[in-house]
Structure formats: C-alpha cells, structure tokens
Copies of this chain bind each other. A is one copy, B any other.
Amino acid sequence: MTRHLHLNAFLMSTGHHEASWRLPESNPFANTEVEHYRELARIAERAKFDSIFFADSPVLLGDIGRRPAGSLEPTVLLTAIAAATSRIGLIATASTTYNEPFNLARRFASVDHVSGGRAGWNVVTTAGPEAARNFNLSDQPAHAERYERAAEFLEIAFKLWDSWEDGAAIADKAAGVWGDNERVRPIDHLGRHFQVRGPLNLPRAPQGYPLIVQAGSSEDGKGLAARYAEAVFTAQQTLADAQAFYADLKARTSALGRDPDGIKILPGIVPVIGSTETEALALERELDELIKPEYARAQLARTLRVSPDDLPLDQQLPAELPDEDEIEGAKSRYTLIVSLAHREKLTVRELIGRLGGGRGHRTFSGTPEQVADAIQDWFDQGAADGFNIMPAVLPSGLVAFAEHVVPLLQERGLFRREYEGTTLREHYGLARPVGRTSSLQEATA
C-alpha cells in the first residue's frame, strides 16, 4: 500500500517569519481577527490538509514592538473556525501545567462535539518562569515534574472521556429514562498531582478522544510522546537529525507495545516559495532584512539564559553556555539552536537570520518543485510521516503552498485529492478509541 503523507498547517498571525507583519501585503492586526483565520482554514481545507494548528502559551513574552503579540485562546479560536469549515482537523495547544484536567478534558470534548469530531490537543507543559508567575508561582515546576504531571493529567483525561460509554443516553421517552446510570461512572482518580472523582458532565465525544499531539523533543518529551502521542511536531534542521529522531521515537513507541504507525511524525518546514529559485531567495532576503536584530537578540538571550550583552551581534555564541541538563525550559529547542550555531560557526547576527523564519524550524526557499522534492526526500528517507507547514507569510505563503506544492504532491501520489473520512482521526488514519464497555458487553464479549 502506498504511504500517504500528512500535512498540518501551523498558523500564526501574519506568518512565521518574525518580520512578515512589516510587508505591505500583511494585515498587522490579523492576530486578533477571526476572519483572517477562517480564511486561512478555508484555504487549507480546499487543499485537503489534515489539520490546522495553533501554538500557545498562557503568558505574554518579550518585546511587543517586535511582532504581532497576543493571541486568541486556541479552543475558542478553533471553535470559531469550525463553523466556517467542515472537514479539516482543528488542533489547539493547551498546557497541562496551568489547567485543571476536568476543565480541559471537557473543553476538548466540547470542541469535538461542536466540530463533528475534528478536535486535536497539542499537549504542552509550558516552559519558563514567566508563565508560572501568571499562576500563583514564582518559578516554573522542574522539567521532570512538569512531564510527570502531564502524564497523570492525560491519564485523567482519558478516564473522563471514557466515563460515559457510547450510547449511555438511551432517551426512552415512554419509560421516562433518559440516560443509563450503569453506563456513566465516576473515575475516582487519586494520584500524586490530582484527585478527580468524575464522571465528565458531557456524553462521549464523536472521536472518543481528541487527537493527541505532542511537540517536545527533550528526553522527557520523547518519553511522553512515545507513550501517548498520535502526532508529533518537531523542529529538525538536517535530514540526518530528522532520521535519527524519527527512528528513535518509533522505536520508543514500539518498545511500549504501541504500533509505531500509530504515531505520525511531522517535522516543521518554513517554505518560502517563488516561481523561480531566485524569486524565492529574494523574498527570503527581503524578510530577513526587515528583522530588527535587537528584538531577536533579546529573545535569543532569553532562550540561552544569558544577558543580551553577552551576545555581540558579530561574534559567535559565547563559549560558556549552560548544559541542556541545566535548562528547565524548552530543552530540545535550546540544544537545536546551540548545535546549529556551533555546527555552522554562525555569528549571533547570522544565527538570528536563520531563526527569524521559523524559530529553529527548517527554512526552505525554492520553487514549488524544489519544495515538493524537499518534502518527498525526507518522507521517502525515513525522516517524516508528513510535515508541519509553517508559511513565512500568511495568507500568501499558504496560498502558494496550497496552489502550487499540494498539486505536485497529489500528482506524485503522495497526498490525498479528497478527504476520505470526516474526523481528524480518520485523516491521520487512526482508530477511534474503543472506550469503556458495559459489564453486560464485557460478559458476552
């Protein structure tokens, strides 16, 4: 059977390039305008993308001079988009560190109900002390602690989503019995981080569970992904690194007794598309020249946990940097950036240019054919099950990908021409979780 690749559109205000908002074509207030996102979703749906996705963190970070700041809460935004679309999956990021499992499990189940089975949840543990300070803490919980809480949070969510059996609402009008009490049961969870009685106050959702997505590539992150994730977003700069990550995560998944096909690995790619390679490179250069380095340097300093003064623009990174082990924040992103700078001996200014497009994700500039080749190359060589498409400029970069790259992928037999199913799980070729069965069904099974 031919493998088909999966495409997710990672949407962000005027695009992933930090200077995209400065282009004449860009609406700099798009970050709070629902119609902007509805239009992007319609473009992605016409191109038969599996899903759209919003990143999120419950904190305002950095300098708001730099680029459009602040964003609509993703479950709200995706619900607003659901009504304007009918098939495309809707993946929202939400934190297990700064939410309660009951509330979040219910919210995702609600999005799944209102969208007819199109909800996905990108599970994050939210790095950084800044977010912690919005939630009664002076610093973030330790990295391992956050991942331990995330695992327990997910276990509770699964139990809550299964707390109603399918068909528990029997609606017998004549007998005056709406629901079957035997088929809706408390979960009585008592763990290290949480105590949750349940059941959920919502019948089981169309997909059973939302699609579980994970994007942390640290050791803890890969552990969580291998155990629970069904799709993984990852930042990989080279084919070799991507192949190693892919093989590692599939092996970890198998080792836990899961089917490695049940976890779809989607590296990020920032495609900058031109009708010629020269045109694409010119657009990339135009964007990079609009970057104001002082903003980017301040963010780089925050990621590296050093002072901006330690990062002169025309020198390489300082020799003395923390080990990944000392980083309690976004560990894998930290390592990726330091490796990139060291491997290519980049100055701070050059590094900033490389990070400006995709914050560590791979930028690829070229013609539609070149972009399609780059995608097929990684897909064929065991580096990816699909891609997280991160247009540098929105909507134009998504339009270019949808109109010029997707048809090539379709012609090559790599990508669907029509949706086959209606739910997000069906797009990714994943089964609906079975859920609980009644004691009667268990007895006769």
Chain B neighbourhood of A84, CB < 8 A: 83
Number of interface residues of A (CB under 8 A): 75
Whether the Cβ atoms of B103 and A202 lie closer than 8 Å is: no
Residues from chain B with Cβ under 8 Å of A168 in the complex: 64
Q: Is A71 an interface residue (CB 8 A)?
A: yes
Closest chain B CB from A119 CB (angstroms) = 10
Q: Are A136 and B196 also in contact (CB < 8 A) when A28-B169, A69-B178, A201-B70 are?
A: yes
Task: Tell me whether A223 is interfacial, beta carbon within 8 Å.
Answer: no
Q: Hey, which chain B residues are within 8 Å of A26, CB to CB?
A: 173
The reply to whether the CB of A82 lies closer than 8 angstroms to some CB of chain B is yes
Q: How far is the CB of A61 from chain B (nearest CB, A)?
A: 8
Is A106 an interface position by the 8 A CB rule? yes
Interface status of A179 (Cβ within 8 A of chain B): yes
Q: Contact between A99 and B107 (Cβ–Cβ < 8 Å)?
A: no
Set of chain B residues within 8 Å of A290, measured between Cβ atoms: 176
Instruction: Confirm or deny: A47 has a beta carbon within 8 angstroms of a beta carbon on chain B.
Output: no
A70–B176 Cα distance when bound, in Å, is 17
List, in ascending order, chain B residues with CB within 8 A of A70's CB.
Answer: 164, 200-203
Which residues A181-196 have CB closer than 8 A to chain B? 181, 184, 194-196
- The residue in chain B whose Cβ has the minimal distance to the Cβ of A291 is B176
Chain B min CB distance to A52 (Å):
16
Q: Does A258 touch B at the CB level, under 8 Å?
A: no
Instruction: State the copy count for this chain.
Output: 2
The docked-state distance in angstroms from the alpha carbon of A103 to that of B169 is 32
Interface presence of A374 (CB below 8 A): no
Q: With A64-B181, A76-B79 in contact, do A203 and B114 touch (Cβ < 8 Å)? A: no
**Is the beta-carbon distance between B196 and A134 smaller than 8 angstroms?**
yes
> Does B64 lie within 8 Å of A179, measured CB to CB?
yes
A sample of 20 inter-chain contacts (CB < 8 A) reads A21-B171, A23-B173, A28-B171, A28-B178, A32-B113, A32-B202, A58-B102, A60-B200, A68-B178, A69-B178, A71-B201, A72-B114, A76-B110, A76-B114, A79-B80, A83-B83, A98-B103, A99-B103, A102-B135, A134-B198
A173 — which chain B residues lie within 8 A by C-beta?
21-24, 26, 28
Flag whether A373 is at the interface (Cβ < 8 A): no
Q: A58–B77 Cα gap in the complex (Å)?
A: 22
- Give the Cβ gap from A81 to chain B, nearest Cβ, in Å: 9
| Complex CA distance for A194 and B102, rounded to whole angstroms | 20
A180 and B72 alpha carbons, distance in the complex (Å)? 19
**Minimum-distance CB pairs A-B, first 4:** A64-B179, A28-B171, A83-B83, A133-B197
Q: Is the CB of A176 within 8 A of B60?
A: no
Q: What is the bound-complex CA distance between A75 and B107, given in angstroms?
A: 9
Whether B102 lies near A201 (C-beta < 8 A) is no
How far is it, in angstroms, between the C-alpha of A133 and the C-alpha of B199 when the chains are bound?
10
Cα distance A173–B59 in the bound complex, in angstroms? 25
Min Cβ gap A90→B in Å is 12
User: What would 17 more interface pairs be, CB under 8 Å, given A28-B171, A69-B184, A73-B110?
Assistant: A19-B176, A29-B169, A32-B203, A58-B106, A60-B198, A64-B179, A65-B176, A68-B178, A71-B202, A76-B110, A80-B80, A80-B114, A83-B83, A98-B102, A99-B103, A100-B136, A136-B195
